[in-house]
Each structure stands twice: as C-alpha cells, then as structure tokens.
C-alpha cells in the first residue's frame, strides 16, 4: 500500500498548487490513498470551506485532515456532519464535538484508518492524544493506521510516534509548516516525519506576508497576519510504502516542490 500525504494547504496559492501538482504526483507515484491537510486552506489561511473541501477531493484527495484551525471558518458547522472524508482532531474535548476524528479507506483487501490528532504543548487545551490513541486503537480494528499529528513541538511528535511504534503504520507531523529532514522508519515499523511542511506561498513566513510578521517580532505589538497572495508556490508532502501483510512501513520519502526544487516527473 502506498500513501501520499500533502501538508497544510495555505490560502489560494496552496489550493492552486494542489490543483496543479496533485494530479501529476498521483500519476507518477501511483498512491492507493492520498491525504491532504486542509486546515489553512481558506483565502485568509484559517479553516476550510465547503467549496475548498470539494475542490481538494476533486483534485485527488481521498481524505482531508484538519488541526487547530478546524473551527475558524464558521461555515464548517454547516457541512461537517455530511463530510465523510473530512477528519478533525480526534482528541477535541467533549462528547458532542461535530464531525469525526478518523475515517477508513478500503484499499483492495485492506483497510486504512486515517486519524487526525492534535498535540497539547503550546497549543489550545485538548484531551490527551496519547490516551486518546490508546483507547481508539481497538475501535479502528486494522493494522493499517496513518496519523496526522498536528502539534507545535518536535518532542511531542516524536514521543507520540515512539510510543506507538509498531502499532501505527505512520505518524507524520503537521502545523509548523517547515519540512524537516528526519524521515525514517522507526525500529518497530512505524514511518515517521516530524513535520511534512506546508503547501502555499513560497515567498512568505509560514504562508503569511513577511512584513506583518517582521513587524510583530520587532515591536511586540498585536499585528494582523495576512496570507501572501502573490508569487510562487511550494508543495510539501511525503510518500509512504506499507507492507501489505503487516501494515508496517518499509519506506518514507519526503516530497518538496518549490522554485528551488522544481517538479521532475
């Protein structure tokens, strides 16, 4: 089983990069399952709209994951109940949280569970992702489990992956938007990458216009961040190969398309 995962889509440029390159990546890499994180995909870089959700699916996503900006576009409440391929963090507190924290995709004779989880360090209060995963595993009832772990710190992401090494097929980090260089298969068979990176404006600070971010650092006063809307884009992702019998990973390889790394099919 081959999984293609594309990191946080930011703003219009991110959506455009998906539209341009995801079909090419699917043609060349031939994944059985394609997952895209869409939590920053609105033009303002926060949340997701129904039209963008449908566009990501049309362009080739099988599942769309979210993160800490899940509820930032109020329109989500109108359609999340019927969006069976949209997955928000499974460890949101409360029993009546709208939407779903995981979904399943049938791949030939196997079933892949796609789980979204959010970290707690330097993030909004959430239920314990370690305990949530422990409780969830029996319910998933499959050896093929992919987790988009949306978190701030490298230590929390890696600790989670090592805690469930061998029980999960892959743990890939999102949220910090800069792709890390530590893609590896852990000792017991879980593919891990601390941060897959973002898909959005290349000439920006994590997708935002640089001037506003620089101003915040220089004067330490509240500043409204605005998504960079002009210039080149980048696409960050990874491709993961799983053993069809065990669900363990055999390989994980980062993908980066940018002005410095043009796509070569």
Q: Which CATH homologous superfamily contains domain 2-257?
A: Metallo-dependent phosphatases (3.60.21.10)
What the block records as the tokens of 18 is 């998906």
DSSP state letters, 214-240: HHHHHH-S-----B--SS-EEEEEEEE
DSSP state of 87: E
11-29 and 50-58 are packed helices; what angle lies between their axes, rounded to 10 degrees?
20
The predicted structure's pLDDT at residue 222: 84
Pick from 136, 135, 77, 74: nearest CA to 102: 136
What the block records as the tokens of 102 is 């995981």
The predicted structure's pLDDT at residue 167: 98
* CA atoms within 13 A of residue 85's CA, in its CB half-sphere: 21
Annotated binding site for Fe cation: 8, 39-40, 68, 150, 175, 177
Q: What are phi and psi of 68, to 5 degrees?
A: -70, -15
The predicted structure's pLDDT at residue 195: 98
pLDDT one digit per residue (tens) for the chain, 265 residues: 999 999 999 999 999 999 999 999 999 999 999 999 999 999 999 999 999 999 999 999 999 999 999 999 999 999 999 999 999 999 999 888 999 999 999 999 999 999 999 999 999 999 999 999 999 999 999 999 999 999 999 999 999 999 999 999 999 999 999 999 999 999 999 999 999 999 999 999 998 999 989 999 999 988 888 999 999 999 999 999 999 999 999 999 999 999 999 998 7
Which 3 state secondary structure label does DSSP give 160? Answer: helix
- Residues acting as catalytic residues: 69
């Amino acid at each position: 089983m081959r999984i293609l995962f594309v990191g946080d889509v930011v703003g219009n440029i991110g959506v455009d990069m998906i539209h341009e390159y995801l079909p090419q990546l699917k043609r060349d890499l031939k994944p059985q399952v394609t997952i895209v994180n869409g939590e920053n995909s609105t033009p303002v870089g926060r949340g997701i709209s129904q039209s963008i959700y449908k566009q990501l699916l049309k362009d080739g996503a099988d599942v769309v994951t979210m993160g800490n900006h899940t509820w930032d576009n109020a329109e989500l409440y109108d359609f999340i109940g019927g969006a069976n391929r949209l997955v928000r963090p499974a460890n949101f507190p409360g029993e009546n949280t709208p939407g779903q924290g995981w979904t399943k995709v049938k791949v030939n004779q196997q079933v892949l569970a796609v789980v979204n989880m959010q970290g707690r360090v330097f993030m909004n209060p959430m239920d314990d992702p370690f305990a949530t995963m422990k409780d969830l595993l029996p319910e998933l009832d499959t050896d093929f489990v992919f987790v988009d772990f949306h978190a701030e710190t490298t230590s929390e992401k890696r600790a989670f992956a090592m805690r469930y090494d061998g029980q999960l097929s892959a743990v890939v980090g999102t949220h910090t938007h800069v792709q890390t260089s530590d893609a590896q298969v852990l000792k017991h068979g879980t593919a891990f990458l601390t941060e897959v990176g973002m898909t959005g404006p290349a000439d920006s600070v994590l997708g935002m216009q640089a001037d506003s971010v620089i101003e915040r650092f220089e004067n330490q006063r509240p500043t409204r961040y605005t998504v960079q809307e002009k210039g080149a884009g980048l696409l960050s992702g990874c491709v993961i190969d799983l053993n069809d019998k065990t669900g363990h990973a055999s390989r994980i390889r980062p993908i980066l398309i940018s002005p410095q790394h043009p796509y070569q099919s």
